[in-house]
Amino acid sequence: MSDGNFVCAAAQQIGGEKPEFKDFIGGIELFSIYINQRINLNLPLNNSCLEMQEGLEHLYRHEKKIKSLAEKYHCKSKNAPPETKALLETFSKEIKNLLKVD
């Protein structure tokens, strides 16, 4: 992934020089907000779709690590207090949903 990619840059801002996969997920979420705002303002998307695709492909190439991250949060949810259990389960499901291809 190119250093100029929005997802990559956001992940580096979140996670530092060597961002983790959760940082890339955060970068994708932030980028989707950016894209939605451009759509709401009737602004052109320019190369946004290509940048998003590049970010998702980066995550998809590391599918096993993403599945492991999702499983980690799922396991944490089993012993979590009720107020955080639902959040951990939801986050785990959302991570797994990133791997689905329509």
What is the per-residue pLDDT across 39-54, written as a single tens digit (0 to 9) for each?
Answer: 888 888 887 888 888 8
Kindly report each contact of residues 25-30 with a partner whose C-beta sits within 8 Å and lies 24 or more positions away, as own/partner: 25/59, 25/95, 25/98, 27/55, 28/52, 28/55, 28/56, 28/59, 28/98, 30/6
What is the per-residue pLDDT across 68-83, written as a single tens digit (0 to 9) for each?
Answer: 888 888 888 888 888 8
Higher pLDDT, 1 or 78: 78
Q: For residue 100, name the pLDDT band (cuts at 50, 70, 90).
A: low
Q: pTM here?
A: 0.55
Task: Spell out the domain ranges in the chain.
Answer: 1-61, 63-102
Residue-level pLDDT at 47: 78
Check pLDDT > 60 for residue 67. Answer: yes
